Structure 1
Amino acid sequence: MSVQPVHKLRKVLGVAFGIAIVVGSTIGVGILRTPGSIAALVPSAPLIMACWVVLGLYILLCAASYAELTAMLPKAGGAYNYIKYAFGNYAGFLNGWLDYICNITAPAYFCIVISEYAVLLWPAMVPFKTLVALGVLTLFTAIHLPGIRGGAATQQFTSGLKVLLFLVLVVGCFASGHARGFAPAARPLLQGGLVLGIIKSLQLIMGTYDGWMSVSFFAEENEDPGRSVPRAYLLGALMLMIIYVLINAAILYVLPVQAIASSPLAAADAAGVAFGKWSAPFMVIISLFSLLSILNAYMMIPARILFGLSRDGFFVQAGTRVNKGGTPWVALAICYVITAVLIIVSSFEQLFTLAAFMMNITTAFTFASLIVLRRREPLLPRPYRAWGYPFSTWLSILVTLALLVAFAVSDTRSLLIVLGMIAASYPLYKFVIIKR
């Protein structure tokens, strides 16, 4: 009887990929879709900009804490590894699956949005929008199946191109001379609902930052995680903040808040004002291709989480199978099936808000893990130490919990869904433990 070869994840990634995965897995659907929703909730340009800056600084603090944990425990699967080490198997199981569910929704809504952009260019495809989304999903699964090198190279190229294209938009808006934004609010800011509007806006912005921790999922495949991981985290988070602030400032520069509030594609409208009517279809094409970068990233992430869960006995052993090119192919195939189902039954808004909610739970646990491990395991090798600790980490925890409470108050539907998941998790965990 022949013995099947055992393949492992390949250590071939570095800083360039780390930055590319942060940028590529984050900038995309959120910045293209949320400016209109945020302007409708917060009818003030300065307040809108303040929300983006505050969340950017918060993410930078978060990145510093995550960098220490990831460099210390460079394992595939991301945050649940640190949570399991700090709080035990059940906490790891719960957060691992919440993180997986959060990330498996991502390729679904990216495929949905890509199909929405495609039908803007080719209206005859409107009846086949779901089939277009499924076709895109199938294509990118085929790209990643052979191995990690092809996917990594695609990520670096598409992320660099995406940043360049958005910078062209920013420069074009400010160079146009159409300074129509930053006008006074159309109604008094203290009129009812502003606080709730800010909270909902922060939830939407948090959703646009979902992906900043993507370096953690690939730490096991990094050639030198002690050096590369912290650099990728901090440089990537800083780049995200700068790009988001610049894009919003550019949109607000050429469009009044009222116009942004009524637009589902504010970036394309801003380009139309800046470059002329001819540019609107062109910007739709740019937006479409920029989304391919974020989809490429999220075709890799859920499979790594499922691989880690399988290796720890929290899913079927077949999930640990890796092909010669370094792809966990069984996990990738399972993710393909789940994503296809989500594309068929779900909508963009439902998936986006639910993912932001679950991300906050796992993020809070991760920060708490850093504090626990600093106290309980002071001698663990730490190639990088979070700056400002413990104040930066405690501040990140407090902000995360405040956002979580605010999201729970403003989005009871997502709260009930997540509470249902948590309630079902312990019986499932006990069942898994018995079967092991």
Structure 2
Amino acid sequence: MNKIKQKGIGFFPALALVMGTVIGSGVFFKISNTTEVTGTQGMTLFVWLLGGLITICAGLTVAELAAAIPRNGGLTTYIDYTYGKFFGFLAGWAQSFIYFPAMLAAQAIIFAQQIDNLFGVGDVWLKPIAVFAIISILLINCLGSKAGGILQSITLVVKLLPIVAIVIFGLMQKGNVEVSLIPSTGDTGINFFVALGAGLLATMFAYDGWIHVGNIAGEMKNPKRDLPLAITLGLGLVTVIYLLVNLTFLYTQPIEDLKGNMNAATETAKILFGQSGGKLITIGIMVSVYGALNGYMMTGMRVPEAMAKQGLLPFSQLFTRITSTGAPWVSGVVQLFIAIIMVALGAFDSITNMLVFVIWAFYCMAFYALFVLRKREKELVRPYKVPLYPIIPLIAILAGIFVMANTLFTQFGLALTGIMITLLGIPIYLYQTKNQQS
């Protein structure tokens, strides 16, 4: 039977962690993609609402696993515990060499675009600036987790300022744009289910981060009471914030001006606050994105290190090398180089859609693990159980399958790339396990 760690995290710290983990750059920049693939205002807001509801179901489902298996490792640990080391390795491989590098690349691209918005450096400098941003974050994190943690705390506060300002001033203005709340594609010629799937794929990037919420279960005073409440209220508030921000964008600018426009947040800020005020908001957005970049570097560089300690990666001795402050710098450098390749090859939406497709395959495995363990290990200590079982886990599973299936049909090349990179881990796993046995 599992011993559950009882420490000092109460409800409000848990709520703050939920919201702080999820809110990142997607809230500012996915309006470009969602309006483009859905075609209408109503459908855009609908996919943001539906994405939030799905995320709440996903968070509540994984929280049961986190409370029952209170160990470090998160997603990889749940899959390893349920399905064995092979699938646990693939989950760790996908996170180490697709998910986290792709997150770094995506955030860095957005950061570079904000520099361009402020100083007009030109497109030729976007990729070098993006690369420099990732390098600078790696150097900061090589100073140790304390340095990264200080930066994360500062940016957590700053990231809320542009959101609050845009929503309050945006909804107070007398808008000239008609906003429809009907979730249809109208006369755009876009198929409803294609728009729904592509829109959800886009919003899932903005909601991503919820998987880390369950990691605090073993350190909560009362996980049975506080964990589901923190997840439901926290992700519910995030959903409301995202809806209000996107409603402000749609209320401020015609939808045709938002489609495919990665500068929609900056242009909205300029409309609301003028040229100077818009620049201040852009700086706030830029700091928020830099903080998100820092968060993914802090957590990402430690995943291959953990795998290497188990002897699961080639050159494991290298991946476990740390600085004098305890930072796994080789793991960080490897993820840096993969992220640089992604910056050079792909745009923001292509990168984020691929990482969402890949990671949701493993999320669905984690959701199904709930059913496996309920049947296989009835005596497992579960300080918290998902409410409305099996409805909420089934919603999470079906939503994940729908998003992945839609991606396969509508963006086959992107999905195939993610699958192939994931499957590259199989020969490495077989080689490493064979070496360990010999």
* TM-score bucket (shorter structure): 0.7 to 0.9
| Of 227-236 and 158-167, the range deviating more from structure 2 | 227-236
Per-residue CA shift, 1:148-195, capped at 9, x if unaligned?
23323332331222123201110010112225240599x971553232
Task: Give the drift of 1:17.
Answer: 7.2
Q: Is the 8 A contact 1:141 1:332 kept in 2?
A: yes
- Residues 188 and 19 of structure 1: CA distance in aligned 2, closer, same or farther (over 3 Å): closer
Unaligned runs of 5+ in 2: 1-6
Task: Give the drift of 1:284.
Answer: 2.2
- Tell me, in whole angstroms, the C-alpha distance in 1 between the residues paired with 2:149 and 2:323: 16
Per-residue CA shift, 1:238-296, capped at 9, x if unaligned?
33212111101111222222232263322222223323344333332222112112111
- Residues 152 and 75 of structure 1: CA distance in aligned 2, closer, same or farther (over 3 Å): farther
- Tell me, in whole angstroms, the C-alpha distance in 2 between the residues paired with 1:179 and 1:116: 28
One-letter amino acid of the structure 1 residue matched with residue 87 of structure 2: A
One-letter amino acid of the structure 2 residue matched with residue 182 of structure 1: V
With normalisation by structure 2, the TM-score equals: 0.86
SS of the residue corresponding to residue 204 of structure 1 reads: helix
Alignment of 1:33-44 (within 5 A): 33-44=29-40
- Residues 188 and 387 of structure 1: CA distance in aligned 2, closer, same or farther (over 3 Å): closer
Alignment of 1:204 with 2:186, yes or no, is no
Residue equivalent to 1:132: 129
Aligned counterpart for 2:289 among listed residues 288, 291, 304: 291
Per-residue CA shift, 1:29-66, capped at 9, x if unaligned?
32222212322332322222111111101100111111
Q: Is the 8 A contact 1:76 1:307 kept in 2?
A: no
Unaligned runs of 5+ in 1: 1-10
| Of 225-234 and 415-424, the range deviating more from structure 2 | 225-234
- Residues 327 and 377 of structure 1: CA distance in aligned 2, closer, same or farther (over 3 Å): farther
Alignment of 1:223-372 (within 5 A): 224=220, 227=223, 233-261=231-259, 263-315=261-313, 316-320=316-320, 325=325, 327-372=327-372
Q: Is the 8 A contact 2:39 2:185 kept in 1?
A: no
Per-residue CA shift, 1:53-106, capped at 9, x if unaligned?
111011001111111212322333321111111111111112221222112211
Residue equivalent to 2:399: 399
Residue equivalent to 1:88: 84
Residue equivalent to 1:70: 66
- Residues 179 and 424 of structure 1: CA distance in aligned 2, closer, same or farther (over 3 Å): same
Q: Is the 8 A contact 1:74 1:225 kept in 2?
A: no
Task: Give the drift of 1:147.
Answer: 2.8
Residue equivalent to 2:412: 412
Supply the RMSD in Å over aligned alpha carbons: 3.0
Q: Is the 8 A contact 1:84 1:90 kept in 2?
A: yes
- Tell me, in whole angstroms, the C-alpha distance in 1 between the residues paired with 2:423 and 2:290: 36
One-letter amino acid of the structure 2 residue matched with residue 66 of structure 1: V
SS of the residue corresponding to residue 382 of structure 1 reads: coil
- Residues 14 and 152 of structure 1: CA distance in aligned 2, closer, same or farther (over 3 Å): farther
- Tell me, in whole angstroms, the C-alpha distance in 2 between the residues paired with 1:235 and 1:336: 35
One-letter amino acid of the structure 2 residue matched with residue 141 of structure 1: L
SS of the residue corresponding to residue 301 of structure 2 reads: helix
Residue equivalent to 1:103: 100
Residue equivalent to 1:61: 57
- Tell me, in whole angstroms, the C-alpha distance in 2 between the residues paired with 1:378 and 1:384: 14
The count of residues paired between Structure 1 and Structure 2 equals 423
Residue equivalent to 1:29: 25
One-letter amino acid of the structure 2 residue matched with residue 210 of structure 1: D
Task: Give the drift of 1:139.
Answer: 2.0
SS of the residue corresponding to residue 387 of structure 1 reads: coil
Residue equivalent to 2:159: 162
Task: Give the drift of 1:231.
Answer: 6.4
With normalisation by structure 1, the TM-score equals: 0.86
- Residues 355 and 47 of structure 1: CA distance in aligned 2, closer, same or farther (over 3 Å): same
SS of the residue corresponding to residue 299 of structure 1 reads: helix
- Tell me, in whole angstroms, the C-alpha distance in 1 between the residues paired with 2:14 and 2:185: 44
- Tell me, in whole angstroms, the C-alpha distance in 1 between the residues paired with 2:363 and 2:185: 35
- Residues 347 and 168 of structure 1: CA distance in aligned 2, closer, same or farther (over 3 Å): same
- Tell me, in whole angstroms, the C-alpha distance in 1 between the residues paired with 2:335 and 2:113: 22
How high is the sequence identity, in percent, across the aligned residues? Answer: 24
- Tell me, in whole angstroms, the C-alpha distance in 2 between the residues paired with 1:336 and 1:351: 15
Q: Is the 8 A contact 1:20 1:160 kept in 2?
A: no
Q: Is the 8 A contact 1:24 1:297 kept in 2?
A: no
Alignment of 1:186-225 (within 5 A): 189=186, 192-195=189-192, 196-215=194-213, 224=220
One-letter amino acid of the structure 2 residue matched with residue 97 of structure 1: W
Q: Is the 8 A contact 2:15 2:233 kept in 1?
A: yes
Q: Is the 8 A contact 1:25 1:295 kept in 2?
A: no
Alignment of 1:118 with 2:115, yes or no, is yes
Alignment of 1:175 with 2:181, yes or no, is no
- Residues 226 and 336 of structure 1: CA distance in aligned 2, closer, same or farther (over 3 Å): farther
Q: Is the 8 A contact 1:27 1:208 kept in 2?
A: yes
